[in-house]
Structure 1
Amino acid sequence: MNRTRRAMSAMVAAGALVLLAACGGSDSDGNNDGSSDGAAASGEVEVFTWWAEGSEKAGLDALVGVFNDQYPDIKFVNGAVAGGAGSDAKNVLASRLQTNDPPGTFQAHAGAELTDYINNGQIEDLTQMYEDNGWNEYFPQTLLDRLEQDGKIYSVPSNIHRANVVWANPAVLEDAGVDPKATYASLDEWIADLQKIKAAGSIPLSIATDWTQVHLFETVLLADLGADGYNGLWDGTTDWAGAEVGAALEDYQTLFELTNQDRQSLDWPDATQLVIDGDAAFNVMGDWAVAAFEEQGKKLGTDYLAYPVPGTDGVFDFLADSFTLPVGAPDPATTEAWLSTVASPEGQTAFNMKKGSIPANIEADTSGFGDYQQTAIDSYANDDIVSSLAHGAAAPISWLTDITSAVAKYGSTGDLGGFQDDLAAAAERNAG
């Protein structure tokens, strides 16, 4: 880090301490006594996440290590609830918020997912915290634009993930007579090779339970509609009942028929493992999957391949994990200490190194990041950016819930016309 950046880092750290001093600490009854500053902050903070296993837990553990170094007098309380994409955790959290029992902070996807919490008055506006700490200078504008809701910011991002990634096992491709070096300009070209793999007796495309199917579905929409058409799904300029969406649904139907039959009994790590073990050729999953390959000693370009979903090259399907300050948090000072660690270059480097994502803070040191992560850093800087549906950036929770129900229903019935009707009805109910 150069001298100017070191000076800026010192200013940010100082700002965090001043803010925490202003917030004060809590006594044993949970009341603000105004007596502590950031360096002396004490007490505990319950951090509510769905990072309970695998690379997600490894990332959280690394972040907690930095937090313990920065705030040794604050006890970290792990409130993790297991469940793919946070579905179980979100249900538990909703119950706690409704009964006025919020954790110190909770994980949420940055973007539209926060809308319901904001409208329900359940999370605090952090805009002033950004101003006081200089974070507007540390997060790229493309990210800040996606964090804002009506000109305010309500969460602190810990990372940036890419959703539109294909993971492939080159040995399975070769065995099926498919060139591992092949590139695909469209879904049609990719489907032709998937059908070759099916004929050779391997699983062409692995998926898992409902949310992973929504994940695949959003990448099909992005591939067939393009970035502008995909964005139009959320601002009303693309018709969910129209012919373009109908054509995308037909491609989704074709892909769905090329997936594993046991999908409903699996979660994403299981579907990814099918590719790692050579039981499946391809998997579409966000780039948190890279940690699963690397943890098992697999090398990019040799043991596995990773590239944008066919038809989406040049587009970065964005999501970010972030943390909030709930209204009524037991001790806002300890929560704000946690948020300061999440935002810090040190916290972001440690966390993202383990999780497979890339830092949101541009001052984080990425020199030791792996080959895949370096490609993601380059892509985020240069590609068109769209917001992920399955991971909370594109649509509020209520809309995502309706789409997930439609995807799950289609998986059971195979009724493509009914699928599009359900999606159009969901848009009519939820579009603002």
Structure 2
Amino acid sequence: MRGKFKVEAMLSMMVLTAGLPSRGAAADQGLEIFTYWTAGGEADGLAALEKVFSAKHPGVQIRNAVVAGGAGSNATAVLATRMQGGNPPDTFQIHGGAELIDTWVKTGFMEPLTKLYKDEGLDQKFPKQLIDLVSYQGQPYSVPVNVHRNGVLWFNKKIFSDNGLTPPETWDAFFAAADKLKAKGITPLALGDKDKWESLQLFEDILLATLGPDDYKALWAGRLAWTDPRITKALETMKRVVGYVNDDHATLTWDQATGLVLRGKAAMNLMGDWAKGYFTSNGWEVGTDFGWAPAPGTKGSFIVVTDTFGLPKKVKNRAAALEWLAVLASVPGQDAFNPKKGSIPARVDADKSKYDAYSKGAMADFAANALVPSEANGPATVPAFLTPITDAISGFVNDKDVARAQSTIAQACRETVGCAAGVATAKPGSGASSTGSGQGQ
């Protein structure tokens, strides 16, 4: 997830115990990992992964450099300072796709992981589209620890039951349900866009519903203009949708907004399935307290997001970092992490019995649906375009000026990735067109 970079992030350090690497002694028998996972299931999943590592490699100290806030934008700013200053963490969390490839691989900051993939047999354990997503010029540069599904409609089952509602499959059905809820004084849709990426994420759901998977991918691959009238229609739909959100949305983060659904203060939330991890970490039961459905109009599509870890060049503890990557790529590592995080495993041979009804359904959909890249979470476009489009949609939520938003986005596309009349003529990066017909995150 991304917002505009903020350099004022605070870096907090947590020290945990983990294990000794077997691929050679690390410089100080330690390991620094860099993440922004602090909410609900995120922190629980990371702790579970560290526990697996600790059991296998007792003796290595993990220094978990956590940068909270900004949905990763704060962490991105700190990471950029460290990487460019020659002080990289031993490994760091990053979304697969353009966020990884264009920011750090093409610029020469990362080591390829071809040998690790060969040694661990990962070419046969990860789906090809995920490997493509983290690869550049035929070599992989990070290890996917999961697959997240973005564009999920989460709903409070009691509120839906009390009001005789079913999950809306179209935006017209959403508006009908929202009107019914609003008439009873219930906030229909929880939104927390304090960090800006959340409103962009809502827009990507509406874009996919308006364009369909093929033209949605064409938009990010540079084959469809941002001036297309269907983009206008998507913005008009979003303008109407934000009329049903909570008044304090600009002061809330994604997890605080998800908490409104959990506390019965709102009926629905559109969010990736890290929201499931938030619900379950707060005691809600899958299928009993909350339900889910694809975002309205997106049935048959799967918006892909993947969290990955890579290996920067010239790290202090390279051997330990490689052991960490091997553990998070393993079946035990992925099966410890993903049930708590809310995501599904990147590996095709994970133990499905460890996963709940939501995750089993997501696994089936990932195998069968049209896969498309998330724009708000890294893989669909390069960071240079992602920042201005995030700002444009955030501004649109407030001023609701459709023409201004569309014009601003088209201009930003021209200025950052070489769009002609709103169409990208420069390739958006190796990760930006490789899911579904190859792409995702």
Partner of 1:181: 166
Q: How far apart in 1 are the matches of 2:27 and 2:185?
A: 65
Partner of 1:167: 154
TM-superposed deviation, 1:77: 0.9
Aligned residue type for 2:52:
V
Aligned residue type for 2:166:
K
Given candidates 386, 391, 394, the residue that maps to 1:405 is: 391
Partner of 2:335: 349
TM-superposed deviation, 1:370: 1.4
Given candidates 198, 206, 220, the residue that maps to 2:190 is: 206
Partner of 2:204: 218
TM-superposed deviation, 1:20: 6.3
Judge conservation of contact 1:317–1:388 (CA < 8 Å) in 2: yes
Partner of 1:123: 110
The verdict on how the C-alpha distance between 1:182 and 1:98 changes in structure 2, with shifts beyond 3 A counting, is closer
Partner of 1:323: 309
Partner of 2:132: 145
Q: How far apart in 1 are the matches of 2:189 and 2:27?
A: 55
Given candidates 339, 348, 351, the residue that maps to 1:362 is: 348
Q: 1:85-100 residue pairs with structure 2 within 5 A? A: 85-100=71-86
TM-superposed deviation, 1:337: 0.8
Alignment partner of 1:323: what SS?
strand
Of Structure 1 and Structure 2, which has the larger fraction of its residues in strand? 2
Partner of 2:293: 307
Judge conservation of contact 2:91–2:321 (CA < 8 Å) in 1: yes
Instruction: Return 5+ residue gaps in structure 2 as ranges.
Output: 1-20, 418-423, 427-441
Partner of 2:249: 263
Partner of 2:437: none
Judge conservation of contact 2:40–2:281 (CA < 8 Å) in 1: no
Judge conservation of contact 2:40–2:282 (CA < 8 Å) in 1: no
Judge conservation of contact 1:45–1:76 (CA < 8 Å) in 2: yes
Q: How far apart in 2 are the matches of 1:250 and 1:243?
A: 11
Aligned residue type for 1:315:
S
Judge conservation of contact 2:239–2:397 (CA < 8 Å) in 1: no
Aligned residue type for 1:235:
A
Judge conservation of contact 2:335–2:354 (CA < 8 Å) in 1: no
Judge conservation of contact 1:104–1:331 (CA < 8 Å) in 2: yes
Q: How far apart in 2 are the matches of 1:51 and 1:216?
A: 21
Aligned residue type for 2:186:
S
Aligned residue type for 2:315:
A
Aligned residue type for 2:189:
L
TM-superposed deviation, 1:192: 2.1
TM-superposed deviation, 1:395: 1.4
TM-superposed deviation, 1:182: 4.8
TM-superposed deviation, 1:52: 2.1
Aligned residue type for 1:257:
G
Instruction: Return 5+ residue gaps in structure 1 as ranges.
Output: 1-18, 29-42
* Equivalences, count: 395
Partner of 1:25: 25
Judge conservation of contact 2:258–2:269 (CA < 8 Å) in 1: yes
TM-superposed deviation, 1:130: 1.2
Aligned residue type for 1:266:
L
Aligned residue type for 2:172:
D
TM-superposed deviation, 1:232: 1.0
Q: How far apart in 1 are the matches of 2:168 and 2:254?
A: 25
Partner of 1:285: 271
Judge conservation of contact 2:89–2:312 (CA < 8 Å) in 1: yes
Normalising by structure 1, we get a TM-score of 0.88
Deviates more, 1:112-121 or 1:219-228: 112-121
Partner of 1:156: 143
CA RMSD of superposed structures (Å): 1.7
Alignment partner of 1:97: what SS?
helix
Judge conservation of contact 2:286–2:356 (CA < 8 Å) in 1: no
Of Structure 1 and Structure 2, which has the larger fraction of its residues in helix? 1
Q: How far apart in 2 are the matches of 1:373 and 1:146?
A: 22
Partner of 2:18: none
Aligned residue type for 1:304:
F
Q: How far apart in 1 are the matches of 2:373 and 2:214?
A: 11
Alignment partner of 2:94: what SS?
strand
Q: How far apart in 1 are the matches of 2:317 and 2:155?
A: 46
Alignment partner of 2:66: what SS?
coil
Alignment partner of 1:386: what SS?
strand
Deviates more, 1:265-274 or 1:76-85: 76-85
Judge conservation of contact 1:85–1:391 (CA < 8 Å) in 2: no
Q: How far apart in 1 are the matches of 2:376 and 2:76?
A: 14
The verdict on how the C-alpha distance between 1:412 and 1:180 changes in structure 2, with shifts beyond 3 A counting, is closer
Partner of 2:95: 109
